[in-house]
Structure 1
Amino acid sequence: MTAIDRRIDPAGTVAVVGTGTMGQGIAQVALVAGHPVRLYDAAPGRAAQAADAIAARLERLVDKGRLAPAARDAALGRLTPVAGLAGLADAELAIEAILEDLGAKQQLFTALESVVSDGCLLATNTSSLSVTAVAGALRCPGRLLGLHFFNPAPLLPLVEVVRGFATDQAAADRAYETVAAWGKTPVRCADTPGFIVNRIARPFYAEALRVHEEGAADPATVDAVLRECGGFAMGPFELTDLIGQDVNEAVTRSVWGAMFHDPKFTPSLAQRWLVDAGLYGRKAGRGWYDYAEGAPSPRPHTAEPCRAPSTVAVHMGRPGSGSGPAGELPRLIEEAGITVTRGDTGADAPPGGFIALPDGTRLALTDGSSATVGSPVPRIWFDLTLDYRTATRMALAPGETVSPEAVRAATGLFQALGKKVSVIQDVPGMIVARTVAMLADFAMDAAARRVASPEDIDTAMRLGVNYPLGPLRWGSELGARWVRDILLNLHQAYPTGRYAPSQSLMRRAAAEEEQFSS
């Protein structure tokens, strides 16, 4: 058994190079797990400042009752700032958290390689660069891998363990076991642009920006719909303000470039303008929203109270299509005291059927197309929800030929179900449906390409960005045929390749159809 095959000793020294917010967080995690930690930063005095900052963090944990004073004292006794790389010679694991520059990282690891032992595991915390490229300059590239922590590292459980093209399997296993011993949740990942989370999460931001750029809804309304209708913890505009518009846009551009400008990853012009203007979000005092003292809180568009119709007609989906994701709505309408009659569905109706309002306007779950284009009768799309019973907001998109009276009737219908209603412009796929369909497709494609296992993909998206469901599970619950059809209609509306379904999704949908037909 070689030195690198061994699991890192629970008392082995961990070196952290780069002492910004992320470096400090990683050092704190290793300290609390029982390791001696050496801190190094190229800026003179920065490592000592970081040690003081970590001590203050541990003190706050003691004040909150989350860490015993004796444990704090023991941890601080293991923390040592060093003035040069030579002070890291006894490290068993060295983690780099410096600026996102390939040349700088290669130079650092080349220097580290001449200092540490051959058994020392080398790890980069890069979020956007190729682990394979970082290792390319090394004498022994097999011992370098990615350990991508999420900020704040002491709080967020997820760590992506990224195996580069040259990374030894033993090194990846050793890192995985070490991270798990620290109480984190590691997931294995191939070295692909964005790894798991930053690759699959791109549509969450991109589709919201696209809806805004088309003038369909303002940022506050998009955020509210994705939170209160889609079940996401934060909307994309408030989340990117928190992350930093410059940081989020840089990751988007990095993934887009690494994917050879694949249209599925195209950055947003609106976000580019925000970055060019220096409106980076919370840290700048203004981004999509204004964070100045006394600034008004963002207010989504919410319709005024409207009268619900006393009766509606429910036309079920075509044979074989099922009732679709909105199948619970007729029951909810009846529970609200509205009379529901049943009718047949014509060949021109959406697969999941529709609800006929008293004037004949059709109310249906969006199928990814425009509510106006190609419809023989006036129709209003409503958006996908995580759960139609518990959702507190509904988005409606009326076609151009829909009367104001019909919009009020549809609004009143959902208000009778206890929902706030946001009426947006007619945009294909609306907000939640297009976002979730793209997330599910990205996840299916990543699993098919062996970026990570299906289980690790769903775990990463739940823990890394706090999605209410893993996108693969969500796609499975919606059905591959439904996801495929949403994207095919979006692809027809925007024939750029951005919404073309992946081959993995097409195969799953075909298998579903075969299963039904048999």
Structure 2
Amino acid sequence: MIDTIAVIGSGTMGRGIAQTLAVAGYNVLVFDQRAEAAQAAVDFAGQMLDRATDKARMTREDAQAAKDRLLVVNALSELAPAQMAIEAIAESLDAKQALFAQLEQILGADAVLATNTSSLSVSAIAAGVSAPGRVVGLHFFNPVPLMKMVEVIPGLRTDPAATDAALSVAHKIGYRAILCRDAPGFLINHAGRGLLTEGSRIVQDCLASEADVDRVMRDAAGFRMGPFELLDLTGLDVSYPVLQLIYGQFHQEPRYRPGVHLAARVAAGLHGRKTGEGFYRYAAGRRVDPPEKLPPDGTLPRLWVPPEMRADLAQILPALVGAGVEMSDTAQGAVCLLAPYGLDATEAALKLELDPACVMAIDPLTVDSPRVTIMPTPATVPDLCDQLHRALLLAGKKVTRIADSPGFVAQRILAMVVNTGCEISQMQIAAPADIDDGVRLGLGYPHGPLALGDTLGPQRVLGILEALQRQTGDPRYRPSQYLRQRARLGLPLAT
């Protein structure tokens, strides 16, 4: 039974892990190459425990007991009593292998060596010790005391006993344990590619601004943060190397290709909140949002909607009529409002043999949300876009205008989020339930990717991706075999 755990490395992750373990009842030996850093980490954990008592989240007796279980040690040799060691040092394969080689000489033969790596192969780390079976991944998320989930990653040679020990620790601290295969990015960092890389590609192609993409993902898709808010929060200097690493580890898989414009932003020092400017500017620590584009005063449109698209717009047409919009029985002399899935306004207009100068498109996927997305064809008369924009504002909607793009913003990003989750399931990196729970807890998405796909409809997601791939020719949009088969067979994605 494990009652004493060593934590090596006392940075943000190490001190959070140590605090969490101590609260759960483990004796924690904290070591850092700089003794003052280890002591500072223990002191910080004590302050956090005091704050928890002030907020009535724990009793003073429990907080003091947790503090008493935190012990700073000054030499690796003093870690000998530990039945498990968790390293939280720099993301360097050589450094982690060297540390574990030392620890296996100090700790007992049955002690587990756990790595908190977020990007390195657990199997590669284990290759540096004489008994690789005792090495397992135990990947926590920042801030550790609040992010109550952990990835448990056995390497190719990890003994089941080491995996069971890691799962036991996760259970005792009350965290959701996500069992993952040793694959690039494990589950959470892998699953995050859909939001970040597709959002970046939309901006790279000058279809929408960073703020526009974030607004759509927040207000229309229900995400807590859009991709560029998230990158500013984590720091582009930290996130961009991870984007590159996962792209490289998957041998330049097009789905994970980072935006080409990101490298210049890193080089320019536009890292986000920490530098005062990233994709947004920050004043006194607060983000400065650019103003939304508003149409000038003017008339409202006379609208015509193709019969086959009226059901998709049933949520918004009555509000438009209530705002004073006149509906037409014919396309002649009216603004033709289209609601395509996976297509751009140009392709939808040509498919229906309509005059592109009179066509506007609206994203049907999010018409029932507080924000709608509209786009003209390159030939659309500019005033028609303003007319529709005015009408939607009067109907009580926030409005984002983008350039003509297959799949709008929400369709593209959500389809890629779902497709990435399907590919993770296809590769059996994690079980479907773990994929959904992990993404909700680890990334804060409103739904896991497989549950999201079932909500949108697997057939609809498949259709969006096939249309995107057909129009762009980009293999990044090719559907996962897992998605394609289940959509064709009418099976759910999440089970």
- TM-score under structure 2 normalisation? 0.91
Question: Aligned partners of 1:44 and 1:445: how far apart in 2?
Answer: 44
Equivalent AA in structure 1 for residue 307 of structure 2? H
> Is structure 2 residue 308 aligned with structure 1 residue 316?
yes
Q: Which amino acid aligns with 1:228?
A: D
1:45 aligns with 2:25: no
- C-alpha deviations, 1:392-433, integer Å up to 9, x for none? 211111111222343234324432442111111112222111
Counterpart Cα distance in 2 of 1:294 and 1:107: 40
Would you say 1:168 and 2:159 are equivalent positions?
yes
Tell me, in whole angstroms, the C-alpha distance in 1 between the residues paired with 2:285 and 2:78: 49
SS in 1 for 2:152: strand
Distance change (3 Å), C-alpha of 1:62 and 1:316: same
1:267 maps to which residue?
258
Match of residue 402 from structure 1: 380
Deviation, 1:273, is 1.1
Q: CA deviation at 1:153?
A: 0.3
Name the structure 2 match of 1:206.
197
Q: Does residue 1:381 correspond to 2:361, yes or no?
A: yes
- Mean Cα displacement is larger for which, 327-336 or 455-464? 327-336
**Percent identity of the aligned residues?**
38
Taking the aligned partners of 1:152 and 1:499, their CA distance within structure 2 comes to 33
Q: In structure 1, what is the equivalent of residue 187 of structure 2? A: 196
Matched, 1:372 2:342: no
Secondary structure, in 3 states, of the residue corresponding to 1:80? strand
In the alignment, which of 137, 142, 148 is matched to residue 151 of structure 1? 142
Do 2:7 and 2:30's aligned partners in 1 also have CA atoms closer than 8 Å? yes
Q: Does 1:109 align with 2:115?
A: no
Equivalent residue letter for 1:182:
I
Matching of residues 244-393 of structure 1 within 5 Å: 244-293=235-284, 297-304=288-295, 308-309=300-301, 312-313=304-305, 315-316=307-308, 328-330=315-317, 359-365=334-340, 367-373=341-347, 375=350, 376-377=353-354, 378=356, 379-383=359-363, 385=365, 388-389=367-368, 391-393=369-371
Choose 406-415 or 495-504, whichever is displaced more.
406-415
Note the alpha carbon deviations across 1:139-163, whole angstroms, 9 max, x for none.
Answer: 2212211111110000111211112
The residue that corresponds to 2:71 in the other structure is: 80
- CA-CA distance at 1:509 after TM superposition: 2.5
In structure 1, the partner of 2:485 is 507
- 8 Å CA contact 1:384–1:433 kept in 2: the answer is no
- Write the distance in 1 (CA, Å) between the matches of 2:239 and 2:364: 26
Aligned to 2:91: 100
Q: 2:127 aligns with which of 125, 130, 136?
A: 136
Worse-matched range after superposition: 45-54 or 329-338: 329-338
Give the Cα separation in 2 of the matches to 1:76 and 1:335.
63
More helix by percentage: 2
> 1:33/1:306 Cα in 2 relative to 1: closer, same or farther (>3 Å)?
farther
Distance 2:435 2:316 in 1: 31
2:434 maps to 1:456: yes
| Residues 130 and 193, structure 1, Cα contact 8 Å, conserved in 2 | yes
Q: Match for 2:9 among 18, 21, 32?
A: 18
* Structure 1 residue 58 displacement after superposition: 1.5
C-alpha offsets along residues 35-85 of structure 1, whole Å, 9 cap, x if unaligned? 111101123422112111211221222222222211121111111111111
Contact map agreement 1:306 1:411 (CA 8 A) in 2: no
1:122 shift after superposition? 1.6
CA-to-partner distance for each residue in 1:106-151, whole Å, 9 max, x for gaps? Answer: 1111111111112212211111111111111122212211111110
CA contact (8 A) 1:395 1:422 kept: yes
Long gaps (5+) in structure 2: none
Q: Which string of whole-angstrom CA distances, capped at 9 and with x for unpartnered residues, describes residues 458-499 of structure 1?
A: 111111111111111111122222112211222123323111
Q: Relative to 1, partners in 2 of residues 1:218 and 1:360: Cα closer, same or farther, differing over 3 Å? A: closer
Give me the whole-angstrom Cα distance separating, in 2, the residues matched to 1:82 and 1:506: 55
Quote the Cα distance in structure 2 between the aligned partners of 1:163 and 1:113.
Answer: 18
Rounded to whole Å, the distance in 1 between the matches of 2:324 and 2:166 is 58
Q: Could you tell me how far apart the structure 1 residues matched to 2:232 and 2:335 are?
A: 43
Q: CA deviation at 1:260?
A: 0.8
The answer to whether the Cα contact below 8 Å between 1:484 and 1:506 also exists between their aligned partners in 2 is: yes
Q: Separation in 2 of the partners of 1:447 and 1:400?
A: 39
Number of residue-to-residue matches in the alignment? 484
Mark the CA change 1:335 to 1:461 in structure 2 (over 3 Å): closer, same or farther: farther
Counterpart pick for 1:242 among 233, 238, 254: 233
CA change 1:414–1:176 in 2 (3 A) is farther
User: How far apart, in 1, do the equivalents of 2:420 and 2:128 lie?
Assistant: 32
Partner letter of residue 205 of structure 1?
L
Q: Distance in 2 between matches of 1:185 and 1:219?
A: 33
AA aligned opposite 2:336: T
Trace 1:397-476 onto structure 2 (pairs within 5 A). 397-476=375-454
The CA distance in 2 between the partners of 1:439 and 1:287, in whole Å, is 24
Alignment of 1:463-502 (within 5 A): 463-502=441-480
Establish whether residue 184 from structure 1 lines up as the match of residue 175 from structure 2. Answer: yes
Cα distance in 2 for residues equivalent to 1:357 and 1:450: 53
SS in 1 for 2:464: helix
In the alignment, the residues of structure 2 paired with residue 468 and residue 502 of structure 1 have an alpha-carbon distance, to the nearest angstrom, of: 22
Greater displacement, 436-445 / 280-289: 280-289
Are the aligned partners of 2:363 and 2:374 in contact in 1 as well (CA < 8 Å)? Answer: yes
Question: 1:296 offset after TM fit, Å?
Answer: 7.1
Determine the C-alpha separation between the residues in 2 that align with 1:163 and 1:342: 63
Q: 1:134 to 1:225 in 2, by over 3 A?
A: same
User: Displacement of 1:306 after TM fit?
Assistant: 6.6
CA distance 1:327–1:359, change in 2 (3 Å) = closer
Corresponding residue SS for 2:445? coil
Q: Return the alpha-carbon distance in structure 2 between the equivalents of residues 455 and 296 of structure 1.
A: 35
Deviation at 1:213, TM superposition (A): 1.3
Counterpart residue identity of residue 54, structure 1: A
